[in-house]
Amino acid sequence: MATKPLGLALALVGSAIACLPIHAQSPTLSPVAHPTLWPAAASPSSITDRATEARIAKLLAGMTLEQKVGQTIQADISSIKPEDLDKYPIGSILAGGNSGPFGDERGSSSKWAELVREFRSHSKASGGVPIIFGVDAVHGHSNVPGATIFPHNIALGATHDPALIRQIGAATADEVSASGIEWTFAPTLAVPQDLRWGRSYEGYSSDPKLVASYARAMTLGLQGNLVPSKPIAANHVAATPKHFLADGGTHGGKDQGDAQIPESELIATHAQGYPAAIDAGALTVMVSFSSWNGVKNHGNKSLLTGVLKDRMGFRGLLVGDWNAHGQVDGCTTVHCPAAYNAGLDLFMAPDSWKGLYENTIEDVRAGRISEARIDDAVRRILRVKAKLGLLDGRPIRDVPTELGSDAHRAIARQAVAESLVLLKNNGVLPIKKGARVLVAGDGADNMAKQTGGWTITWQGSDTTKRDFPRGRTIWQGIDRAVKESGGSAELSIDGKFDRKPDVAIVVFGEPPYAEFQGDIATLAYQPQDKADLALLRRLKAAGIPVVSVFLSGRPLFVSAEMNASDAFVAAWLPGSQADGVADVLVSGRKGHPPHDFKGRLPFAWPRDARSPVANPLFARGYGLSYAKPGRVGQLDENPGIDLSSALNVESYFDRGRALAPWAITLVDANGSRPVSSGDATSPLNLVRAHHVDVGAQEDSLAVDWSGQGSISLDGPQVDLGRQLTGAFGMEATLVVTRPPSGQVALTVGGQSLSATTALQKPGPVTLLVPLRCYADRGADFGAVRTPVQISSTGALGLVVRRLRLVPIGAPTTCLPAN
């Protein structure tokens, strides 16, 4: 097996700490790793055989500095054209979550193959070394319509079945390579500790042992067995264990945050998957956006070189995350010798590739990066390219029939069935032969909710059934299964019915999200609007037994919803083949053997809304079955914290999104329209908005007015009386892209002041207006529904970066009257 067992690793930590009293007793947490404390591992000799190494050395010796530096840089398809490679010998191309072939988010499998062919042929003409092309196939080939979408990793964690994980890896590799691509940025080996993290569902489990066994299985599934001096098979792809390290260990579960933990915990909890993946031959590893004890991992040489490359013997290439090098102290996205020197080999520089290329050449000339370090990086990149057969004309497969094939969909359906965790069952499950079933809830027939983030688009919000013609929603599966058992099913999203059913299945849960957009303040499900609870209670009050099927990227506090249900199933994010749900729920089907529940919790389930979960309602490993029933009594519905205090009462818009419970709308004379993801316009098209990158990806909203209208932040009624007394002000962090042709108003608590003069100069501007200025004009801060609104009577261009209330330190003046 790949890993030194955990016990041994811990023993190593223990004994070594005994020899390092200074470190062990130090009260402050250090960001410097001590490699000898870590588990050892080694990339297999099948990726470093002598013949290949000699070939790489020869290739390297013939390369110019420009060609070498070019190899270390990766650009995104939305910011580079194949022809650019004629001039710039860039070594790698990626397609990020929102990037489709030839600008089409829903481009076909063959379009992907065509795109790869174009990039590859230009790269060969310029540098001689073909590019390597990577994509986020994180639960199947998830960017491509018609692919098989497997359950997200958290659901796979519930199956506790490494053999199944290996099959999923092989099927995914088959589909990715069938569209011409040779590399996926998977698997995620995060070991999430705080479920408020929006990427919790990308992790398999909070159990490092399970993560390690899956790391091995998924790597072998994706890459196949490696054979010395032979390229991997054309239907396999390179794997990327990510994100190194402790992406799931950040303080407060904050995405891209800081893991404030001792080295022993970093090793025992977060590192265990990596030796397993490296021993299994993982060709690449991705570095995490996050920090360890205050230092960004992209700049931490002790982790990247000392631990990963030296101690864990990793001989493949180390790729960065999306412009993450720009977050290292002293770096920008276009200039970062510190990350090169820390050991990063391939820089993910989606839109910053050109500047980075030019500046890095200068850095090497000036000695800020040694040529030996660049050579090491290029050698690793060439090694991976050799293993993928890219140096020998790896065939660009174009086999659309592999996507969503019968065999792959069958594996996905099986995975769904195995991943379901039965949390409560008072005897209503399985659904009996011949039953009349009502299927309700907005997740019942909803491809976006069941597939989640990283599906078609980055956030996955606009996925539809049309994207997966051979997919099945939960409703479609139940409908068919119930009919096969001689019963009848009716779909009614809002739960209304004419004839009383024997039983209701209600499917509900979280909307799709990815990365930091999924970070939440507490573990409460629907902290504000308890719409799903109301539906469950209404059905129960009508005397109908209720089965809840909960779709979510994480365990959440749902005790009230459980009390209102006779059975409760955690179904996670099952993906495109959700007929696997009915396979377990419905009994007595002709031609179908009965299934039982197999899934067990990969994370502890919370008793209240507090995080991290200290005293769980159900421990990790819990799961009932028909064979082993158990009773769940009435649960305490107390959230354990004041949920209203955890709401974003003072922060409205940050990092590109309205913060829950707030929503952004674009308003004109004809009404208003919400801004979720992607482009949005007001009803008359007078106000338009789209996301843009300022400090990080899609972290700001560009709003353009061509006539009278406004952008408005709306939500539930809140009391801002304390903020008014506390001398808070409304702070709007903006960039003027087009000065106003008419009058601009900043409206707070229903009263307006003029921002026309303040916005005359193009460029960044921060308005900070005391709430008092608005109160003086009659604003009522006791009951605010629209904390802030920006309106214009004419043309105007603004980039909105942040909207929030802050305490005012220095004296500030009011804006002029509107």
Q: 194, 279, 515, 714: which one is catalytic?
A: 515
Complex with ligand BGC: residue 242 or 409, whichever CB lies closer: 242
- Told to check if 200 binds ligand BGC by CB under 6 A, we report no
Residue 98 or 159: the one with the smaller Cβ distance to ligand BGC is 98
Per CB under 6 A, the segment of 97-105, 549-557, 565-573, 574-582 that binds ligand BGC is: 97-105
Q: Between 94 and 381, name the residue whose CB sits nearer to ligand BGC.
A: 94
Q: In terms of CB distance, is 133 or 289 closer to ligand BGC?
A: 289
CA dihedral 453→421→245→38, nearest 10 degrees, is -160
Least distance from C-beta 321 to ligand BGC, angstroms? 5
The catalytic residue among 174, 207, 321, 445 is: 321
Are 580 and 593 a contacting pair, CB within 8 Å?
no
265, 251 contact by CB (below 8 A): no
Closer of 123 and 697 to ligand BGC (Cβ): 697
Which pair of structure tokens corresponds to residue 203? 């992790």
Q: Which residues pair with 577 in a beta bridge?
A: 472
Shortest Cβ distance from residue 149 to ligand BGC (Å)? Answer: 17
Q: Is 515 an active-site residue? A: yes
Contact 386, 379 (CB under 8 A): no
Choose among 49, 65, 70, 182: nearest CA to 129.
Answer: 70
Q: Which of 700, 255, 678 is nearest to 460 (CA)?
A: 678
**Sign, Cα dihedral of 565, 571, 573, 579:** negative
Q: Residues 556-575: x/- map of binding to ligand BGC (CB under 6 A)?
A: --------------------
Q: Please, what is the Cα angle at 11 between 8 and 14, to 5 degrees? A: 155
Q: What is the closest distance, in whole angstroms, from the C-beta atom of residue 675 to ligand BGC in the complex?
A: 16
Binders of ligand BGC among residues 729 to 788 (CB under 6 A) are: none
Nearer to ligand BGC, 264 or 676 (CB): 676
Q: Is 698 in the site for ligand BGC (CB under 6 A)?
A: yes
Does 682 bind ligand BGC (CB under 6 A)? Our answer is no
Candidates 19-27, 94-102, 518-526, 637-645; binding stretch for ligand BGC (CB under 6 A):
94-102
Residues numbered 128 to 167 that lie near ligand BGC (CB under 6 A) are: 136
Residue 19 contacts by C-beta under 8 Å, 6 or more apart in sequence?
none
Residue 736, φ and ψ in degrees, nearest 5? -85, 120
For residue 110, which of 193, 180, 172 has the smallest C-alpha distance?
Answer: 180
**φ/ψ of residue 612, rounded to 5:** -60, 160
Give me the least distance between CB of 97 and ligand BGC, in Å please.
3
Tokens of 286: 């991705």
Contact residue for ligand BGC among 31, 97, 316, 320 (CB under 6 A): 97
Residue whose CB is less far from ligand BGC, 157 or 441:
157
| Region near ligand BGC per CB under 6 A, out of 92-100, 632-640, 669-677, 749-757 | 92-100
- Output 185 or 468, the one with its CB closest to ligand BGC: 185
How far is the CA of 371 from the CAs of 61, 683, 751, 758, in angstroms?
Answer: 12, 57, 62, 50
Non-local (6+) Cβ contacts of 548 within 8 A are 506, 508, 536, 561, 562, 564, 565, 567, 568, 569
Residue type, 414: Q
- Taking Cα atoms as reference points, which of 316, 265, 241 lies closest to residue 17? 265
Based on the shown chain and the rule CB under 6 A, indicate whether residue 185 belongs to the binding site for ligand BGC.
Answer: yes
DSSP-derived letter for residue 767 is E
* DSSP assignment of 157-191: HHHT-HHHHHHHHHHHHHHHHHTT--EE---B---
Would you give the binding string for ligand BGC spanning residues 486-515, x where CB under 6 A is met?
A: -----------------------------x
Task: Identify which of residues 321 and 363 has a Cβ nearer to ligand BGC in the complex.
Answer: 321
Contact flags string 577-616 toward ligand BGC, x per CB under 6 A: ----------------------------------------
CB under 6 A: which stretch of 96-104, 334-342, 620-628, 664-672 binds ligand BGC? 96-104
461: three-class secondary structure by DSSP: coil
Token pair of 241 as six digits: 């264990």
**Least distance CB 198 / ligand BGC (angstroms):** 11
**Is residue 328 packed enough to be buried (19+ CB in 10 Å), middle (13-18) or exposed (0-12)?**
buried
Closest contact distance (angstroms) between CB of 515 and ligand BGC is 6
Structure tokens at 21: 């009293």
Active site residue 731: no
Task: Give whichever of 136 and 561 is closer to ligand BGC, judged by the CB atom.
Answer: 136
Binding mask 256-295 for ligand BGC (x = CB under 6 A): ---------------------------------x------
98 is an interface residue for ligand BGC by CB under 6 A: yes
Cβ at position 656, least distance to ligand BGC in Å: 9
Residue by residue, DSSP assigns 608-676 as SS-SS-SS-SB-TT--B-SSS-----PPP---SS-HHHHS-SSEEEETTEEPTT-EEEEEETTEEEEE-
Q: How many residues touch ligand BGC (CB under 6 A)?
A: 14
- In the complex with ligand BGC, the residue whose CB is nearer, 175 or 515, is 515
Q: Which of 321, 442, 532, 583 binds ligand BGC (CB under 6 A)?
A: 321
How far apart, in whole angstroms, are the C-alpha atoms of residue 524 and residue 642? 11
Q: Is the Cβ of residue 387 or residue 691 nearer to ligand BGC in the bound state?
A: 691
Q: Binding segment for ligand BGC among 90-98, 110-118, 338-346, 802-810 (CB under 6 A)?
A: 90-98
Place of tokens 């933990």: 261
The site string for ligand BGC over 381-420 (x = CB under 6 A, - otherwise) reads: ----------------------------------------
Q: Does 183 bind ligand BGC (CB under 6 A)?
A: no
Cβ burial, residue 765 (10 Å; 0-12/13-18/19+): middle
Kindly state whether residue 99 participates in binding ligand BGC, applying the rule CB under 6 A: yes
CA-closest candidate to residue 619, choices 166, 517, 630 = 630
Nearest approach, Cβ of residue 423 and ligand BGC (Å): 30
Selected binder of ligand BGC within 88, 347, 353, 458 (CB under 6 A): 458
Give the residue from 545, 528, 520 showing the smallest Cα distance to 425.
545
Contact 775, 727 (CB under 8 A): no
Does the footprint of ligand BGC cover residue 96 (CB under 6 A)?
Answer: yes
CB of 394 to ligand BGC, least distance (A): 22
Residues 243 and 289: beta-carbon distance below 8 Å: yes
Q: How far is the CB of 748 from ligand BGC (least distance, A)?
A: 30
Q: Which is nearer to ligand BGC, 169 or 545 (CB)?
A: 169
Q: Is 618 in the site for ligand BGC (CB under 6 A)?
A: no
Min dist. Cβ of residue 145 to ligand BGC (A): 17
578 in Cβ contact with 584 (< 8 Å): no
Min separation Cβ 666 and ligand BGC, Å = 21
Rounded to a whole number of angstroms, the distance between the first and last alpha carbons of the chain is 71
Q: Is 322 in the site for ligand BGC (CB under 6 A)?
A: yes
3-state secondary structure 628-644: CCCCCCCCCCCCCCCHH
- Among the listed residues 715, 771, 769, the one whose alpha carbon sits nearest the alpha carbon of residue 744: 769
Q: How far is the CB of 416 from ligand BGC (least distance, A)?
A: 24
Is residue 67 a contact point for ligand BGC (CB under 6 A)? no
Contact positions vs ligand BGC (CB under 6 A)? 96-99, 136, 185, 242, 289, 321-322, 458, 515, 697-698
Catalytic residue set: 321, 515
